[in-house]
Structure 1
Amino acid sequence: MAVSLKQMQYALAVARNGHFGRAAEACAISQPALSQQILALEDLCGTPLFDRLRSGIRLTPFGREFVAMAQEVVKRAEALDAFVLGHSGRPDRPIRFGLIPTVAPYLLPDIFPALTSGLPGLDFTISESRTEALIAGLIDGSLDVALIGTAPPDSGPTLVSRPLFEDPFVLATSSSDGTKEPVSLASLAPERILLLDEGHCFRDQTIAACRLGNDPARTFAATSLSTIVEFVANGQGVTLLPRIALRKEANDPRIAIHDLLSPGAGRLLSLVWREATPFGSTFEAMAEVIRATRPNG
């Protein structure tokens, strides 16, 4: 039995996400199904590809070599697939669309219906992951297009980036906090600023905006903005929020939202894809639809 392309894609997803559950979500299959495929692949190879750790997974030495070779095979297969489909400029399969976690829950309710109605005949497979994993997905061909909130890296394959719109930050405090606005970022007590856990670009943007240094000591780091907002509502700190999140995260009367003193802080949301794709015109059209669906915040 030969190693299948699908097994290689699953192995790359696990390596990219560092977690079987997140890899299964990105591949739009159940975790047991993905785990079964990885076990079958490891059985075929005669050795494990991954060390299973309490904190996640780690590539074995054999796994690192396998992933490096599989990336090339999958990349060539994706290129062949794109070549075959590219005569029409539109794929005849779902577009694999990734978004960062600090965007997906706030924009998808608006942009997904707009994309499906504004671009009839196109289907989408949606996944949510951190910026690093999305960029890796674009590079290895497991994603077609991604919506991110930071500049794509300069190294590696050329990526096309199209700006969508600015997303300013605001300060969230407890409604009993008594904060006066506009708020100067320099006036915030660093020890009171609550952050997302490492790997989120929004965490890095908050650290930079509040000048917290390269390695701020924290006993608390949340996996989602919703978790942070709950702590803020209970008076256990303050946080920056992207304006697109306010409809969902600022409905609690225990929360007060404050504008920042100029120049404030924010991020530019962008749509990114590989330059070497036959579907560039489709992704340009996606960007136009998303711009037109920009929420008021």
Structure 2
Amino acid sequence: MRYALAVTRTGHFGQAADECAVSQPALSQQILALETLCGSTIFDRLKSGVRLTPFGRDFIELARPAVAASEALDNFAMRNVGKPNRPIRFGLIPTVAPYLLPEIFPALTRELPALKFTISESRTEAMLESLGDGSLDIALIASEPPAGGPRLVVSPLFEDPFVLATPSDELTAEPVSLAALEPERILLLDEGHCFRDQTISACRLEGERSTRTFAATSLSTIVEFVASGQGVTLLPQISLRKEASDPRIAVHQLDDPRAGRHLALVWREATPLGRTFEDIAAVIRGTRPGD
């Protein structure tokens, strides 16, 4: 049922498998076994992904509280023993995971050796849903959780300022004023990434100007376009070790008021593992890239 909820959230078997930290064949096999048990298909398999069947919509509505009840029993057991009895399910957004994981995972293993983790990468909205239904324990995000969602504890980690990346052969006076940038030259991530929204806000790209810009699926793709002279982009400071190593890229500091984001670790308020999650947050604060 947890796998079915993940497929419902993502609309894709592969993305759901990544979120659940299992292989796609294993997840697909379990979904097929669930459908066989139910005697009806839960998902229509499409070329572009999957969608719920009429039976599937009713099934998922009943599965959500069932999974939540299972999580409540799990939490009760963990509260009794005072420690996790399974790996901690840890989610990170795509504009953080490739830059922080090489730093924080060894540190977590060294500082908290009794803990085990399963790691997944997903967008903020999907991770907040996963926290709400109990399929995720903690998430590292870069935006304030919206009101009306699950009751969460937000543990601030550190600020992650933005810089401007341009082609290295382009003359750029520093510090750079975001107001002076040409909107049509700014390259963005595609919709659904909080970093896209933060860039649009920082550069004041409103209305049609925010939709006319190029949209990519990853920062690495955008950086390659910048290196090829196709435009400029904002990059988070934590990404520079990986994304700014190309000599075709130049990095520039921004003029005041400087743009940036605040990274935080979040978890459900009702969890019995709050102290453990605070320990995890403390380790992450001490392993910021570049420190």
For normalisation by structure 1, the TM-score amounts to 0.94
CA-CA distance at 1:211 after TM superposition: 1.1
- 1:1-297 to structure 2, matched below 5 A, reads 8-214=1-207, 216-218=210-212, 220-296=214-290
Q: For 1:218 and 1:32, locate their aligned partners in 2 and report how far apart those are by CA, in whole Å.
A: 38
In structure 2, the CA distance between the partners of 1:152 and 1:222, relative to structure 1 (3 Å rule), is same
Residue by residue over 1:119-142, the C-alpha shift from the partner in whole angstroms, topping out at 9 and shown as x without a partner, is: 121111111111111111100101
In structure 1, what is the Cα distance between the partners aligned to 2:213 and 2:194? 19
> Is the contact between residue 188 and residue 213 of structure 2 (CA under 8 Å) also seen in structure 1?
no
For residue 220 of structure 1, report the CA deviation from its aligned partner: 3.2
The separation in 2 between residues aligned to 1:35 and 1:20, in whole angstroms, is: 7
TM-score by length of 2: 0.96
- Unaligned 5+ residue runs, structure 2? none
- 1:178-211 Cα shifts (integer Å, max 9, x gaps): 1111111111111111111111110111111111
Distance 2:45 2:203 in 1: 37
- The alignment's C-alpha RMSD in Å is 1.4
C-alpha distance in 1 between matches for 2:213 and 2:263: 30
| 1:246-274 alpha-carbon deviations (Å, 9 max, x no partner) | 00000011000011110121100000000
Cα offsets for 1:221-259 (capped at 9, x unmatched): 211100100000000010000000000000011000011
- In 2, the alpha carbon distance for the partners of 1:217 and 1:287 equals 36
Shift of 1:219: 6.5
Identity of aligned residues (%): 72
When structure 1 is superposed on structure 2, of 19-28 and 72-81 the one drifting more is 19-28
SS in 1 for 2:126: helix
Cα displacement string for residues 32-84 of structure 1 (whole angstroms, at most 9, x for unaligned residues): 22112212222333332223233322222322221121111001101101111
Amino acid in structure 1 at the alignment position of 2:235: L
Amino acid at match of 1:155: G
Contact 2:131 2:268 in 1 (8 A): yes
Q: In the alignment, is the contact (CA less than 8 A) between 1:89 and 1:281 conserved in 2?
A: no
Once residues 172 and 180 of structure 1 are traced to their aligned partners in structure 2, the CA distance between those partners, rounded to angstroms, is: 13
Contact 2:142–2:262 (CA under 8 A) maintained in structure 1: yes
Kept in 2: contact 1:101–1:129 (CA 8 A): yes
- Is the 2:87–2:116 Cα contact (8 Å) retained in structure 1? yes
Q: Are the aligned partners of 1:89 and 1:282 in contact in 2 as well (CA < 8 Å)?
A: no
Q: Distance in 1 between the 2:213 and 2:290 partners?
A: 35
Structure 1 consecutive aligned stretches of length 4 or more whose deviation exceeds 3 Å: none
Deviation for aligned residue 1:157: 2.3
Once the 2 structures are TM-superposed, how far is the Cα of residue 214 of structure 1 from its aligned partner? Answer: 4.4
List runs of 5+ in structure 1 lacking aligned partners.
1-7
Q: How many residues align?
A: 290
CA contact (8 A) 1:162 1:272 kept: yes
- Aligned equivalent of 1:4: none
SS at match of 1:96: strand
